[in-house]
Amino acid sequence: MGRSVTELLRQIHASQYTRKTGEVTPADWLAGGGSLKPGPELTGRVWQDWRP
């Protein structure tokens, strides 16, 4: 996690979002940003479905 309080809070918010919605968050996700619905059909297609 490192020593950045901002990064720690970002990771906590991402974890809370995932627990609440069941969707996963990409790297560097910020609240209000897009997310992905996990499942076998997403495997190998993340960059086709995810457009940051």
Q: Measured in whole angstroms, how far is the alpha carbon of residue 50 from the centre of its chain?
A: 11
Q: If you write DSSP's letter for every residue of 26-47 in order, what string do you get?
A: -TT--TTS--B--SGGGTT-HH
20-34 pLDDT per residue, tens:
999 988 888 888 888
Quote the pLDDT of residue 21: 94
Domain that holds residue 18: 5-49
Q: Are 30 and 48 in contact (CB under 8 A)?
A: no
pLDDT at 16 exceeding the cut of 60: yes
Token digits for 29?
């996700």
Predicted TM-score (pTM) of the model is 0.70
Q: Where is pLDDT greater, at 52 or 37?
A: 37
Structural domain total, the chain? 1
Per the listing, tokens 């969707």 go with 23
pLDDT at 17 exceeding the cut of 90: yes
